[in-house]
Chain A
């Protein structure tokens, strides 16, 4: 989280809404530890990582949808049939990602 703070400040200064994604569960082998985080701005920019690159693209889409529809959301990513080639984890594990609207008002 610490490494994301400067980015969060910048996005707030630019008056962009922010969605925070956090890894809240791991099954099997997974690339990043519990608590790994990624932030997504309303402009579609991202900072940090929840899976070392496997599912980040999908998380950005979910985050942008959350800004439209409201949240929070609990998402699961893993190797399951056809998903394996789209947004699965290459390492064979499964992760749960919590997506929430992060405090957006500037100081």
Chain B
């Protein structure tokens, strides 16, 4: 299989992968596919150049962004196209607002997973556009899915017995964004319940509530837009100042 095909397949499967291309010099157009485990495919046409690039594999994947660089011998210009798995948006509650939120999130390149134990809500007719629709207890699903730094969680059910355990699961993960629908009053009650469940003040401060940017949203579609805008703001802030840097 060609390098381009392998590159495309990796992206389709949501894997970390990088394609390095020589832009100048006699090896111009040579390409090397890099994997996080250090394996490669293809060739840069120059063993020294390849060794130098290979030594930086970890750095490329840690940066999670495309990199332009100059190799001093030559000098030769290179482009390393680092491709990262899509951000995942978990939406708890297959409600009207969730349907609009899936639409916005898809346009922005998120993988969307809608979870609701109530099978009357979680129907393929309403959520055919979601990447995944899971009709099970949200807290269980979130615990299984391995929420990571590229996961966002939004709770929308308005029902504490679904939302609170889901929020607890999200707060016990390194999820990038956690937002909960509900008024200040609801949120105060929710905080008390989660605190009783052993979550600290620092944990609870991670919850965006009331959820969404303040755009005077009233209709479900507008609420979804305000939530999506808030998620984008959090993601962009995180990209600007990566944790640990």
Interface residues in chain A, defined as those with a beta carbon under 8 Å from any beta carbon in chain B: 1-3, 5, 8, 22, 24-25, 33-35, 71-72, 74, 98, 100, 102-103, 105
Which residues on A sit within 8 Å (CB–CB) of B2?
A: 103, 105
Interface residues in chain B, defined as those with a beta carbon under 8 Å from any beta carbon in chain A: 2-5, 7-8, 11-12, 21, 23-24, 28-29, 65-68, 79, 81-83, 86, 109
A98 touches B79 (CB 8 A): yes
A34 touches B66 (CB 8 A): yes
**Pairs across A and B, CB under 8 Å, 26 listed:** A1-B11, A2-B83, A2-B86, A2-B109, A5-B12, A8-B8, A22-B79, A22-B81, A24-B23, A24-B68, A25-B79, A33-B66, A34-B66, A34-B67, A35-B81, A72-B29, A74-B23, A98-B21, A98-B23, A98-B79, A100-B21, A100-B29, A103-B2, A103-B3, A103-B5, A105-B2
Q: How far is the CA of A33 from the CA of B109 in the complex (A)?
A: 15
A72 touches B28 (CB 8 A): yes
Q: Is the interface of A mostly helix, strand, loop or mixed?
A: mixed
Which of B5, B7, B66 has the most chain A CB atoms inside 10 A of its CB? B66
Q: How far is the CA of A100 from the CA of B81 in the complex (A)?
A: 14
Q: Which 3 residue pairs across A and B have the least CB separation, nearest first?
A: A103-B4, A35-B66, A24-B79
Which residues on A sit within 8 Å (CB–CB) of B79?
A: 22, 24-25, 98
Q: Distance in Å from the Cβ of B124 to the closest Cβ of chain A?
A: 21
Instruction: Give A2's nearest chain B residue, CB to CB.
Output: B11
Q: Distance in Å from the Cβ of B242 to the closest Cβ of chain A?
A: 15
Pick from B3, B4, B12, B24: contact of A74, CB under 8 Å: B24
Q: How far is the CA of A34 from the CA of B60 in the complex (A)?
A: 14
Q: How far is the CA of A14 from the CA of B199 in the complex (A)?
A: 56
Which residues on A sit within 8 Å (CB–CB) of B29?
A: 71-72, 100
Instruction: Give B67's nearest chain A residue, CB to CB.
Output: A34
Q: How far is the CA of A3 from the CA of B24 in the complex (A)?
A: 28
Which residues on B sit within 8 Å (CB–CB) of A2?
A: 11-12, 83, 86, 109
Q: Distance in Å from the Cβ of B3 to the closest Cβ of chain A?
A: 8
